Structure 1
Amino acid sequence: EYTCRGRRSSDSQSSEISDAVTLTVSDAAEAVVSVSPLRWLTEGDSVTLSCEVKHSSTGWTFSWYTEVLSRDSQGSLRYSTALLSDSSRGSGGSFTLSPVTVNHTGVYMCRAERGEKVFHTRDSNLQLLWITGESPPVSLIIKPSRTQHFTADSLSLSCEDQSDSTGWTVRGYTHSETVSDCSSVSGSICNISSLSTSHTGVYWCQSESGGR
């Protein structure tokens, strides 16, 4: 609770203490993205991303974003959040992609806002959509080639294109719902010297132009 009291500078006379005002501070509202029916899809399928604000359901307008790959002024590759060009289609909280193509593969998030003096939530959790086609232009090669790996093992991941093996970046989406580049790169090869359970996730190849 807060109160105030006035004092006149000419004779230092003070007023009575004001009525108390209670100020309640809450954490920023949290937006959450979910996917239906699945986030693992084949070209031609349909998928709907839904955005909700926890503990608050009315008066919100939603915007949709994806991560994009670009070069900064020094020529280094950077990932940034970009508003989807057709984000307004999902202003009511649902964003449907139909039919999906491999170009829809990526990481999506949302943000909600409301009020004349716009109040907005933090960016939502990240949701990965993975769409496969009949003939992917690039292959992700894992060495050693086996389906199961153990902690402390080492492995390498590389992107191989029929025409050009350069210009591709290995990206990963781990169980902690974070997206990252390989931490140790030699040429076009991603090297992991000591595996841990935190490396569990989905990995793919992404070109400098943003293609997968």
Structure 2
Amino acid sequence: MEFSPLAVMLLLISLIPVPHAQDRPQVVLSVSPQRWLTEGDSVTLSCEVTNSSKGWTFRWYTFVPFRLIGVIFWYRPVLLSDSSRESGDSYTISPAAFNHTGVYMCKAKRVERVYPTYDSNKELLWITGESPPVSLIINPNRTQHFSKDSLSLSCEDQSNSTGWRVIRYTHSERVLDCSEWGSVTGSTCKISFLSTSDTGVYWCESESGENSNPVN
């Protein structure tokens, strides 16, 4: 019995082992000493490939906004400017500044290969200080809010920066502009009906990359 070239090719493809999800290297990003920092502190991000031998290289990313349609912003990982070359398994920020507030991740790949790369989990760094360029004002201002309540968050400018917007990071591990989850009027964001999915960290961010103190 003869097989056509196409049949032989399909047979060979069917014999190629398909990696299972559990076989994929797991890249774990950790933060030391802590995620919530004061301006001037030092913090180190470390990346580890679990259950794997040595021979990995890492690159470090932070999430930055891109304008899509009108005022809607999409956040995507961008290589840190001082991480343009292959680097070791740690990345230190020192001294920490307001504009370091944000979400970070690393990508791992084998030294001898170009592809594939593997993404780590995401980690949010909060940087607070005494003189932020803008303040995030919450109204009503109370320590606890409940489901179905309404809430407004406003960026009160203390500098010459323009284009302040309210950003949040929740358990969904996504950085989102207010236009994705609330209603925007100028530098104020309103949530009409609070829910548990609104639990997260909020801060103000300007078009030039300045940040307020974050609020949890």
- TM, length-normalised to structure 2: 0.80
Name the structure where helix makes up a greater proportion of residues.
Answer: 2
Residue 210 of structure 1 corresponds to which residue in structure 2?
Answer: 209
- Aligned mates of 1:119, 1:36 — CA distance in 2: 29
The one-letter code sitting in structure 2 at the alignment partner of 1:152 is K
| 1:147-168 deviations in Å (ceiling 9; x for gaps) | 1101111101010103568511
- Separation of aligned partners in 2, 1:37 and 1:191: 34
Residue 136 of structure 1: aligned partner: 132
Alpha-carbon contact 1:168-1:207 (below 8 Å) kept: yes
Aligned length: 200
Q: 1:92 aligns with which of 78, 88, 91?
A: 88
What residue number does 1:199 align with? 198
> Does the CA-based 8 Å contact 1:140-1:160 persist in structure 2?
yes
- The separation in 2 between residues aligned to 1:72 and 1:144, in whole angstroms, is 31
The 5-angstrom pairing of residues 1-212 of structure 1 reads 7=3, 23-27=17-21, 28-71=24-67, 77-87=73-83, 91-163=87-159, 167-182=163-178, 183=181, 184-212=183-211
Across the aligned residues of Structure 1 and Structure 2, the Cα RMSD in angstroms comes to 2.9
Contact 2:75 2:176 (8 Å CA) reproduced = no
Which structure would you say has the larger Rg? Answer: 1
Tell me the distance in 2 between the aligned counterparts of 1:6 and 1:112: 45
Q: After superposition, what is the alpha-carbon deviation per residue over 1:106-154, rounded to whole angstroms, capped at 9, x for unaligned?
A: 1111000115342333322211111112201101010111111011111
Deviation at 1:37, TM superposition (A): 0.7
Question: Alpha carbons of 1:100 and 1:57: their partners in 2 closer, same or farther (altered >3 Å)?
Answer: farther
Instruction: Give structure 1 stretches of 5+ with no counterpart.
Output: 10-17
8 Å contact from structure 1 (residues 49, 96) kept in 2: yes
CA distance 1:46–1:89, change in 2 (3 Å): farther
- Mapped to 2, the partners of 1:22 and 1:153 lie a distance apart of 55
Q: Shift of the alpha carbon at 1:201?
A: 1.3
* Identity within the alignment, %: 64
